[in-house]
Amino acid sequence: MKLSVSLAQMDIALGRPAKNLDRVRAMTAEARRRGSEVVIFPELWSTGYDLDRVEEHATPVDEGVFAETAEIAKEHSIHIVGSLLATEDQGYSNTAVVLSPQGQLLGQYAKVHLYRLMEEDRYLVPGQKAPVFDLAWGKSALAICYDLRFPELFRKYALAGARVVFLTAEWPYPRVMHWQTLLRARAIENQLFMVACNRVGESGEWSFFGHSAIYDPSGELIVGAGEEETLVTAVIDLGTVEEVRQAIPVFEDRHEEVYSGD
């Protein structure tokens, strides 16, 4: 199966959901005009890291900006992926969602690995689950920014059958090489597609470089963006996953008894 995906690499106005939502509307409309079935936005795209106002911004995943985004997905008949601030029983989380072309919530994932350098651990609670979702194009999973540095998460996804991982991020300078290398590594070692959208622009002391990208299960770059606000689109062939996994049977050759032993 082939899937058309757009990466909506945007700047984020700190703490201004209405302004950011207008940009999302425009980029979603353009993605659909191009024939995309999925559009992915950066991490915390509605607010940026305006965490000292998290109580004001966060809502349940069926309310607030989540609900407004669902209406955009429905209006343009497209899947939308991205993360927003959400309320939890224990506090607040950085939660990514997949919304259907009918505006339905197909999956959600709360960021497990909180980034201390941006003080996420002061304001947010970490997620406790790493679900894989059965979507129209096959099993898929979500990850958020700093998660990329933890290969265990992506191996768990792969072992659960994921063929695509959508990663939404605010990954800052100067670690461009880390971003590119880790995306490629996660794709190669798990033989799946990495679809990653990073923001651009500046926020306080932080600058963000974009370089949103899609890597295939062999680690080849399918499409990549530069360092400006842009929408890039590509078609990925999900059949490639099975071809690569059959050619190099990594999962059949694992020895879990060694890795988990004393």
Quick: pLDDT tens for 176-203.
Answer: 999 999 999 999 999 999 999 999 999 9
pLDDT, average across residues 213-227 = 98
HEC states along 80-146?
A: EEEEEEEEECCEEEEEEEEECCCCCEEEEEECCCCCHHHCHHHHCCCCCCCCEEEECCEEEEEEEHH
pLDDT digits (tens, 9 = 90+) for 56-115: 999 999 999 999 999 999 999 999 999 999 999 899 999 999 999 999 999 999 999 999
Catalytic residue among 37, 43, 120, 170: 43
- Banded pLDDT at 223 (limits 50, 70, 90): very high
To the query of whether residue 256 is one of the catalytic residues in this protein, the response is no
How many structural domains is the chain composed of? 1
Question: What pLDDT, on the 0 to 100 scale, is given for residue 260?
Answer: 81
pLDDT, average across residues 148-163 = 98
Backbone angles phi, psi at 236, to 5 degrees: -110, 145
Instruction: Give yes or no for residue 244 having a pLDDT over 80.
Output: yes
Tell me which residue range forms the domain holding 244: 2-259
Catalytic residue among 37, 120, 145, 170: 145
Catalytic residue among 37, 111, 170, 197: 111
pLDDT digits (tens, 9 = 90+) for 118-131: 999 999 999 999 99
CATH of the domain at 102: 3.60.110.10
Which percentage of the chain shows pLDDT scores above 70? 99
To the query of whether residue 145 is one of the catalytic residues in this protein, the response is yes
Q: What is the pTM of this model?
A: 0.97
To the query of whether residue 71 is one of the catalytic residues in this protein, the response is no
Question: What pLDDT, on the 0 to 100 scale, is given for residue 262?
Answer: 63
Mean pLDDT (the chain) is 97
